[in-house]
Each structure stands twice: as structure tokens, then as C-alpha cells.
């Protein structure tokens, strides 16, 4: 059931800066100041109580271009779209509240008979298309198939048909004595989702990314070894633009982990690899972009080498900044911001949970080391956010270099509750309210987060719960 | 975490890491959604790293023992987990990156052999000439010439083809050989041992892997005859199923036909040339896993359907050295 909704402060769009940069003083005071501006909006629990708990795990979260719609995909192949309530004089506090707008089953489990494998219905990614008319379009993908969905509203229906009754029964044509023109009458709003295109059979390996091009006509889809370019109107063919499959699979040393189009240059895209490298490709240079235009890699620090060096350097997400000047990558322990003009090292590195470095062995045993965390920019590219364990998520202010750790939990999910910053005790004496590394719950992980494109509203997916936080300006 | 612990524990962790990794790969085959190429690739890197550390530990330990027994007397029962090797060369302590593993793998063959064996392991670390001479003692566990050489090859100065001996020359700290005029390397992929001596090559076949060197029928546990080098391998008693290997004549057939590949594979190669990885000679992970892990789990355990035994499994895995030179491949 929908959780309790708390009204947001309705802060104007002019003032959407975090207060990080405006506060001076001791760290604690800074944090306290920040906290005043963070407001828990509400908690939303998944609608469907499924027999299989896992079917409800949220696997992707994405705001649309205006931020009015928020789409989530889950492990059961469902897509749930939330819409932000418009300002309403009769309900002044409901401004900014996100409610369920549409729900549909996007993908079903399939079986590949040739390979005898089951194809999971889990939605790996959702990407919105820019809105061009009254309807909304999004792309959703599982491991093998991408679908273009049209979400449209219907608030009128036709009445007065000649050939059928109001309840739908066909009339006997001989009984019709007069003709009438059907008229449109208002009805309760109905939101329909219909699949308009199905892009299938183009990927041998598991799709990990889709990205809509700035030309709004094409998009790319990336699997472990290949990237394909599609036209939104054409489903029966795609162009392969990157192929890193070696002739001899025994020589495989890396896979593609994420890919994204540049936000402004429709010929430029990047893809990250499991080796911690990012390649920027220009589609104008050649049809097959196996040769990169730029190669981003930070030299490994040999003193930190361990059994798991390869795993923790694997990039799990790559995102361009809104400006298009930077890109951000997430590996297991850190987030890095790269300037597109500098390939040899990132310009900024933020440690997400460095205290886990000594725990890599157990994290390997329980498979947590393979978790793929995503990261996101805020609308002005001044802050970045990513998730961690114990339902913690982290925000970093790029200007002041301040960071904060927050928790998405039901205990603190009271309307308008101010979020308390969290701190993990890494050693020595544990202060009050600190959590020791050993008491972290590694089953509670926040892999998917999204930031409203313009306002300070964030969506955080904690397993099967979606939390939406909004800042509140007094 | 491993770095802070003593080296012995590092070796133990390497073993358990290997078994954990194998378990992950095994279970990924039955997971919903098909095998995740990315995850298996990462697991294979852990496997490779763990193996490298483990081998370097054994290598260093054997070297240290050779320092104590320069006359080539066999070691007494080598513990499965050697005590911390204080003399571990720094480059072995650090995990080598894949690009430069070729030589290191070759030099660590003796360590590999040592590491792969559960019971007594001798290391005749003397230079080849000495090793070809009759060994003084007859305690079990000599390296035995595999295949056609047979146990009766016996003493004498000339080494029967297929003689196996430790690359003692390569145990120098930092890789400098003992005998400056002689260097012996073992290629872990083709199991070819090459000796460079005063400018000309000796070629011997080495088939340490239990998977590829099953005893000929009727030769199970033959008593060692004086003067022969005997190879001991853990599979002798358990008769585990061999790992399928990609190379022709690579043996490793489950308990089956005797293995006599050494003479077939004895061939001259240039010492310095890093010969291309002939895919047909590589025991790759595909073939291992394609065989349903039969090569990595002893028959007893497979029958009892117990979870993979970390110790045994990993030791056997280490024994099948050629398999780990490549990242895992899926499909």
C-alpha cells in the first residue's frame, strides 16, 4: 500500500542548491545545516505483494526529462510509473507528491530453446524518450529484448455506437432504425501502456545498458561484448558499432559493463569495461567503432594490489554530466569524475566505502563484491550520489568536497522527518550513533538511485522499497 | 584480509579462494538467466591471482628447502601448507600481472608440483646432470619418468626421455639461476621442459599434472627403484577422473588409458621464445567445465555429492596448471 505521504516544502526551482556550499563552520554544524534542508517525503512500498519476494526487487529507477514521471523496473519484469502531483489549491501539501500513474508487465520470462537457457524477465534498464506529444515513451530492456512502450492517457470515451449497445453487445442490424453519431464523454482517467516496438534477437550476451541518442531517433544497446545502434522506428535490424569479442574466446580479458551516448553530441558515446577503463568513440570516424577516440584509464596503484583488484576496478556504471563536459564512473569502492579532455586520470575521486577494502574476502564469498552500484548527477552537476550497503547512500558535493551518508529506512520514514547523517566507524572507539563495519547489513544494498533533472528530489531504491526524498526550503 | 596475514595463512586463503571460486563458477552454470560472462570473468581473475600466490608460496618454500639440502636429498613429508617462506622473492610476493606470468609460471613449476601433491614430495633440485645420475636414496616419491620411460629406466648417466626433475636452477632469488650456464623451464601449458645448457637445448617432457599422467595399468604404486626419479601425484590412490585437456594426446582421461604423451610431446623449442599459446594445447576452462568438473572433484566426493572439498579440489585444480593461464571463457 502506498505509504504515508508528507508534503514537500514546495521550494521554488530557483533555489535548488544544496546548502553544502553555503555553510561555514565545523563539520557537524555543516551537516546539521544540510539536514534542515533534507526532508523525507514519503516511503512507497511496492504494490504487488508477490509470493516470490524477489519478484519485487527494484532493478532500475529513472526520472523522465521533466522529472514529472519516475519509472521503476523490477525483477519480475514489471514497470511502475509514478507521476508527480501538480499544484492543487485544495491540497496545497500534495505538491510534489509522487503517486502511481501506470503499471504494466513489460517483460515475461522466456526460454531460449537453442541454448537451453531461461531468459530472465528482470528489467535491467529503463530510459525515457523526450516527450514529443501527449503520450510518453520509454524503452525498457531485460537481458535480451528491448521494448518501446507508449504510455498514454485516456479520459474520454465514445458513447452512442450504432452497432453495439453500451455494454458492448452487438445489436441486431435489422433492429436499427436510426443512425446517430457517437459522442465523446468524459471518463475516469485511464493510463494505458502499449508496446509499440520490440527490438529482439540482436544480442547474444546479456544487455547491460541502453541509451537514447540526443538526436531522439536512435539509441544504443550494449551487452557484454557488443554495442548495437538502433533506429527507434526499425525493429528488424540494428547496426553493430562495437565488438570486442576476441576471435578466440579464451583470450577474453574484459567485457563491456556500461555504455552511454553523449548528451549533446549525437556521434559520441562511451563505454566502460570490466578492467576499469572507459573508451570514448566517435561514430563519424568509422562504421565500426572498435577503435576508440579516447581511452580513459587511471594507472593502478601497485601497493594496493590484492586478489580482488580486478573485481573492484570493474566499472559498474558510467554517466555523462548534464553539461557533457564530464563523465562519472562507479567502481566497487569509489566514484570518479573524469574530464573528457583528460584521459590519464580522473579529476575527482570520491571514496564511497573505503572501509570495505579490508573485507573484500568475505564480500567475495557472499557475492556482494559483484554488486553493481549506479551513480547519478544532480541537475546542475554540482553533486553526485551513489548507493552503498545497510541502505546507506552517499552524496558528494563537488564544489565543497563535502560528503554525507544517509540511510533509507522505514524506521526514520515519518513524514517530514529530517534525515540524520550516518557514519560508519572504521576503527578505534565507536562513537555514539556510529555503526561499526561489522554490523552493516550487506543484504540491504542501494544499487539504484536517481536524481530529478532540475530539482532536489531523489529516488532511492532499497531492495523492494522506493524512497523519495525532497529538500525542503524554509 | 590477506595482505595483513602471515604468508602461511595467505597460502591457505589462496586454496580456499580457489575452491570458493570454483564453486561459484560451478553454481553459475545452473543459475537462472544463463551464465553471466562478466561475473565468471572476474572470478577467473581471482582464481588466477590465488593460484599465482599459492604457487609462489610453494616455490619459495621449496627453494628454501633446497637451500638446506643442496645435495638433492629428498625432502621428508612436505606439509600441505608450508610455513612462511621468509626468503620469498619480492616479485613473487607481489601478485604478478597476467602479462608477465609466462616465465614465472615456468619457473614455479617445481613449486607447483610440490604444491599439488598431498603426500611426500621430493625435490631434486640439483642441476640436471646430477639428477640424471642415480639418486642416492630410495625413499618414495621420486619423480618418475612418465610414459614410456617407465620406472625401470634406472640409473646411468643418460636420462631416459621424459625424465622429470625440478628446475632447481631457476630457484634463484630474483630469478637468477644457480647454475649460470644452465636454465630449465617448464611450460605449464604444454608441459614441456626446456633446458638451456651452454648454448644447446635439452628437451624433456614433464607431465606433472595428475590429470595428464595417470599410471599405466598395472603400474599403480610401483615401488621406486633406486636411481630413478619418480613422480608422485595425488591421484594415484584415488584415481580421480582426469581433466579433459584440449591438447591432442593430452591424456587426462578418466582413469583410462595409460598416458604416454611425453614422447609425443618431446620436441625442441627455443628457450627464449615465448611460444604462442596454442589453443589446442591449453587445458582451458571450457574443457574443464565442459566435463562437468569431473577433473576437479574426486570420484569419491562426486559420488557422495558432497560440496566441493576445498582442500582436495583446489590442490587438484592447482595440479592442472595449464588451465589457469587464461581467463575463463563462456560461450
Instruction: Quote the pLDDT of residue A384.
Output: 96
CA torsion A173-A175-A178-A182 (nearest 10°) is -60
Query: What is the overall mean pLDDT for chain A?
Result: 84
Q: Render the burial of A125-159: b for 16+ CB within 10 Å, e for the rest.
A: bbbbbeeeeebbbbbbbbbbbbbbbbbeeeeeeee
Q: Are A184 and A156 in contact (CB under 8 A)?
A: yes
Mean pLDDT is highest, among A80-84, B173-177, B252-256, for: A80-84
**CA–CA distance, B128 with B205 (Å, rounded to integer):** 13
Q: What is the 3-state secondary structure (H, E, C) of A152-207?
A: EEEEEEEECCCCECCCCCECCHHHCCCCCCCEEEEEEEEEEEEEEEEECCCCCCCC
Contact across the interface for A309 and B98, Cβ inside 8 Å: no
Which of B46, B279, B331 lies closest to A307 in CB terms?
B46
- Average pLDDT value for residue range B62-71: 82
Which of A112, A206, A311 lies closest to B46 in CB terms?
A311
Contact across the interface for B1 and A361, Cβ inside 8 Å: yes
- Average pLDDT value for residue range A110-118: 86
Percent of chain B with pLDDT over 90: 8
Q: Are A162 and A180 in contact (CB under 8 A)?
A: yes
SS3 assignment, position B21: helix
Residue B50: closest CA among chain A residues belongs to which residue?
A307
- Give the residue among B261, B248, B256 at the shortest CA–CA distance from B287: B248
Cβ neighbours for A355, distance < 8 A, ≥ 6 positions apart: A424, A426, A437
**CA–CA distance, A279 with A191 (Å, rounded to integer):** 40
Distances (CA, A) of A230 to A130, A195, A409, A467, B41: 16, 17, 40, 33, 28
Q: Are A409 and A391 in contact (CB under 8 A)?
A: yes
**CA–CA distance, B290 with B280 (Å, rounded to integer):** 15
B268 Ramachandran zone, left/alpha/beta (phi>0; psi -120 to 50): beta
Q: E strands of chain B, at which residues?
A: 182-187, 192-197, 200-205
A188 touches chain B (CB under 8 A): no
Q: What pLDDT band is residue A425 in, cutting at 50, 70 and 90?
A: confident
Instruction: Quote the pLDDT of residue A89.
Output: 64
Mean pLDDT is highest, among A137-146, B125-134, B188-197, B220-229, for: A137-146
Contact across the interface for B42 and A311, Cβ inside 8 Å: yes
End-to-end Cα distance, chain A? 30
What's the gap in Å between the CA of B301 and the closest CA on chain A? Answer: 22
Q: What pLDDT band is residue A429 in, cutting at 50, 70 and 90?
A: confident
What is the DSSP secondary structure assignment for residue B314, as one 8-state letter?
A: H
Instruction: Quote the pLDDT of residue A163.
Output: 87
The label of the residue with cell 541518442 reads A213
Please list the residues that pair with A83 across neighbouring strands: A69, A99
Least confident of A441-445, B15-19, B189-193: B189-193
Instruction: Quote the pLDDT of residue B321.
Output: 41
Q: What pLDDT band is residue A420 in, cutting at 50, 70 and 90?
A: confident
pLDDT exceeds cutoff 90 at B133: no
pLDDT, tens digit, 9 for 90 and up, residues A432-442:
788 999 899 99
A460 touches chain B (CB under 8 A): no
B331 touches chain A (CB under 8 A): yes
**CA–CA distance, A332 with A91 (Å, rounded to integer):** 44
Distances (CA, A) of A288 to A216, A217, A227, A244, B232: 21, 19, 10, 11, 53
Instruction: Quote the pLDDT of residue A204.
Output: 93
Instruction: Quote the pLDDT of residue B183.
Output: 52
pLDDT, tens digit, 9 for 90 and up, residues B219-278:
444 444 444 444 444 434 333 333 333 334 333 333 434 433 333 333 333 333 333 343
Q: What pLDDT band is residue A472 in, cutting at 50, 70 and 90?
A: low
Which of B17, B329, B331 lies closest to A307 in CB terms?
B17
Percent of chain A with pLDDT over 70: 84
Distances (CA, A) of A244 to A146, A252, A280, B37, B306: 21, 9, 14, 13, 39
- Average pLDDT value for residue range B18-31: 91
Handedness of CA B218, B221, B223, B225 (dihedral sign): positive
CA angle B231, B233, B234 (to 5 degrees): 160
Q: What pLDDT band is residue B31 in, cutting at 50, 70 and 90?
A: confident
* Helices B7-28 and B37-68, axial angle in degrees (round to 10): 150
Instruction: Quote the pLDDT of residue B72.
Output: 56
Q: Are B101 and B52 in contact (CB under 8 A)?
A: yes
Pull the grid cell for residue A1. Answer: 500500500
Residues of A in contact with B50 (CB under 8 A): 307
Contact across the interface for B2 and A359, Cβ inside 8 Å: no
pLDDT, tens digit, 9 for 90 and up, residues A450-464:
999 998 888 989 888
Which of B46, B94, B279 lies closest to A248 in CB terms?
B279
* Helices B109-116 and B37-68, axial angle in degrees (round to 10): 100
CA angle A419, A425, A430 (to 5 degrees): 100
Query: How many contacts, defined by CB atoms under 8 Å, are there between A and B?
Result: 100
- Give the residue among B172, B168, B146, B140 at the shortest CA–CA distance from B159: B146
Q: Render the burial of B160-175: b for 16+ CB within 10 Å, e for the rest.
A: bbbbbbbbbbbbbeee
What's the gap in Å between the CA of A204 and the closest CA on chain B? Answer: 9
Burial class (CB in 10 A: 0-12, 13-18, 19+), B10: buried
B199 touches chain A (CB under 8 A): no
Rg of chain A in Å (alpha carbons): 24
Instruction: Quote the pLDDT of residue B300.
Output: 37
Least confident of A104-108, A140-144, A203-207, B291-295: B291-295
Instruction: Quote the pLDDT of residue A93.
Output: 54
pLDDT exceeds cutoff 80 at A377: yes
Instruction: Quote the pLDDT of residue B196.
Output: 52
Q: Are B325 and B101 in contact (CB under 8 A)?
A: yes
pLDDT, tens digit, 9 for 90 and up, residues B34-60:
889 999 999 999 999 998 888 898 889
A224 touches chain B (CB under 8 A): yes
A122 touches chain B (CB under 8 A): yes
pLDDT, tens digit, 9 for 90 and up, residues B78-110:
444 444 433 333 333 334 334 344 444 333 333
pLDDT, tens digit, 9 for 90 and up, residues A311-367:
999 999 999 999 999 999 999 999 999 999 999 999 999 999 999 999 999 999 999
- Give the residue among B162, B115, B92 at the shortest CA–CA distance from B314: B115
Give the number of other Cβ atoms within 10 Å of residue A375's Cβ. 24
Pull the grid cell for residue A345. Answer: 586520470
Cβ neighbours for A395, distance < 8 A, ≥ 6 positions apart: A18, A383, A384, A385, A403, A404, A406
Amino acid at each position: 500500500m502506498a505509504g504515508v505521504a508528507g508534503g514537500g516544502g514546495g521550494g521554488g526551482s530557483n533555489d535548488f542548491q544544496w546548502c553544502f556550499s553555503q555553510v561555514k563552520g565545523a563539520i557537524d554544524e555543516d551537516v546539521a545545516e544540510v539536514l534542515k534542508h533534507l526532508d523525507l517525503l514519503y516511503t512507497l512500498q511496492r504494490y504487488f505483494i508477490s509470493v516470490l519476494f524477489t519478484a519485487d526487487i527494484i532493478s532500475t529507477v529513472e526520472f523522465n526529462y521533466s522529472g514529472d514521471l519516475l519509472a521503476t523496473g523490477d525483477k519480475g519484469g514489471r514497470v511502475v510509473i509514478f507521476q508527480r502531483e501538480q499544484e492543487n489549491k485544495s491540497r496545497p501539501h500534495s505538491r510534489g507528491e509522487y503517486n502511481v500513474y501506470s503499471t504494466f508487465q513489460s517483460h515475461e520470462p522466456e526460454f531460449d530453446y537453442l541454448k537451453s537457457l531461461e531468459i530472465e524477465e528482470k528489467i535491467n534498464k529503463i530510459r525515457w524518450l523526450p516527450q514529443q506529444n501527449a503520450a510518453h515513451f520509454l524503452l525498457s530492456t531485460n537481458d535480451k529484448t528491448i521494448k518501446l512502450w507508449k504510455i498514454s492517457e485516456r479520459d474520454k470515451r465514445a458513447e452512442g455506437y450504432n452497432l453495439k449497445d453500451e455494454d458492448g453487445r452487438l445489436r441486431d442490424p435489422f433492429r436499427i432504425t436510426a443512425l446517430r453519431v457517437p459522442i465523446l464523454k468524459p471518463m475516469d482517467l485511464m493510463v494505458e501502456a502499449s508496446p509499440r516496438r520490440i527490438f529482439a534477437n540482436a544480442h547474444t550476451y546479456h544487455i547491460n545498458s541502453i541509451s537514447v541518442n540526443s538526436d531522439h531517433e536512435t539509441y544504443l544497446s550494449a551487452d557484454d561484448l557488443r554495442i548495437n545502434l538502433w533506429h527507434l522506428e526499425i525493429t528488424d535490424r540494428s547496426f553493430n558499432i562495437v565488438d570486442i569479442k576476441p576471435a578466440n574466446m579464451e583470450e577474453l580479458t574484459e567485457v563491456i559493463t556500461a555504455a552511454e551516448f553523449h548528451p549533446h553530441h549525437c556521434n559520441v558515446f562511451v563505454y566502460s569495461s570490466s578492467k576499469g577503463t572507459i573508451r570514448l568513440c566517435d561514430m563519424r570516424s568509422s562504421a565500426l567503432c572498435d577503435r576508440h577516440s579516447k581511452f580513459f584509464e587511471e594507472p593502478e596503484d601497485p601497493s594496493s594490489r590484492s586478489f580482488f583488484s580486478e573485481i573492484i576496478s570493474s566499472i559498474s556504471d558510467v554517466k555523462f554530466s548534464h553539461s557533457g563536459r564530464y563523465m562519472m564512473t562507479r567502481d566497487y569502492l569509489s566514484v570518479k569524475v573524469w574530464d573528457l579532455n583528460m584521459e590519464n586520470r580522473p579529476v575527482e575521486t570520491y571514496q564511497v566505502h573505503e572501509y570495505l577494502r579490508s573485507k573484500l574476502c568475505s564480500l567475495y564469498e557472499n557475492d556482494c563484491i559483484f554488486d553493481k552500484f549506479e551513480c547519478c548527477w544532480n541537475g546542475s552537476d554540482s553533486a553526485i550520489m551513489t548507493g552503498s550497503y545497510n541502505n546507506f547512500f552517499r552524496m558528494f558535493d563537488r564544489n565543497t568536497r563535502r560528503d554525507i551518508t544517509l540511510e533509507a529506512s522505514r524506521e526514520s520514514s515519518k513524514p517530514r522527518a529530517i534525515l540524520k547523517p550516518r557514519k560508519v566507524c572504521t576503527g578505534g572507539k565507536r562513537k555514539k550513533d556510529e555503526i561499526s563495519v561489522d554490523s552493516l547489513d550487506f543484504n540491504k544494498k542501494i544499487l539504484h538511485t536517481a536524481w530529478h533533472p532540475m530539482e532536489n528530489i531523489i529516488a532511492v531504491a532499497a531492495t523492494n522499497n522506493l524512497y523519495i526524498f525532497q529538500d525542503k526550503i524554509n | 584480509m590477506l595482505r595483513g596475514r602471515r604468508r602461511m595463512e595467505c597460502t591457505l586463503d589462496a586454496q580456499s579462494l580457489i575452491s570458493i571460486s570454483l564453486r561459484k563458477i560451478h553454481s553459475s552454470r545452473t543459475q537462472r538467466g544463463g551464465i553471466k560472462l562478466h561475473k565468471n570473468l572476474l572470478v577467473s581473475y581471482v582464481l588466477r591471482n590465488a593460484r599465482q600466490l599459492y604457487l609462489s608460496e610453494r616455490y619459495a618454500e621449496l627453494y628454501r628447502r633446497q637451500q638446506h639440502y643442496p645435495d638433492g636429498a629428498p625432502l621428508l613429508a612436505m606439509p600441505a601448507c608450508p610455513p612462511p617462506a621468509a626468503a620469498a622473492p619480492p616479485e613473487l610476493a607481489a601478485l604478478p600481472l597476467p602479462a608477465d606470468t609466462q616465465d614465472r609460471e615456468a619457473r614455479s613449476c617445481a613449486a607447483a608440483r610440490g604444491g599439488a601433491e598431498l603426500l611426500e614430495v621430493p625435490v631434486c633440485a640439483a642441476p640436471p646432470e646430477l639428477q640424471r645420475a642415480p639418486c642416492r636414496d630410495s625413499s618414495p616419491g621420486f619423480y618418475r619418468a612418465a610414459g614410456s620411460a617407465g620406472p625401470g629406466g634406472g640409473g646411468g648417466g643418460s636420462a631416459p626421455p621424459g625424465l622429470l626433475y625440478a628446475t632447481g636452477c631457476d630457484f634463484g632469488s630474483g630469478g637468477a639461476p644457480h647454475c649460470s650456464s644452465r636454465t630449465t623451464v617448464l611450460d605449464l601449458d604444454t608441459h614441456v621442459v626446456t633446458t638451456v645448457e651452454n648454448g644447446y637445448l635439452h628437451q624433456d617432457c614433464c607431465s606433472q599434472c595428475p590429470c595428464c599422467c595417470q599410471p599405466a595399468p598395472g603400474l599403480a604404486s610401483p615401488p621406486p627403484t633406486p636411481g630413478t626419479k619418480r613422480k608422485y601425484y595425488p591421484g594415484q590412490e584415488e584415481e580421480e577422473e582426469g581433466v579433459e585437456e584440449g591438447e591432442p594426446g593430452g591424456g587426462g582421461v578418466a582413469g583410462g588409458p595409460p598416458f604416454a604423451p611425453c614422447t609425443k610431446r618431446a620436441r625442441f623449442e627455443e628457450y627464449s621464445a615465448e611460444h604462442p599459446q596454442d589453443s589446442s594445447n591449453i587445458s582451458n576452462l571450457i574443457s574443464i567445465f565442459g566435463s562437468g568438473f569431473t577433473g576437479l572433484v574426486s570420484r569419491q566426493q562426486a559420488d557422495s555429492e558432497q560440496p566441493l572439498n576445498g582442500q582436495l579440489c583446489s590442490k587438484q585444480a592447482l595440479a592442472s596448471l595449464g588451465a589457469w593461464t587464461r581467463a575463463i571463457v563462456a560461450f
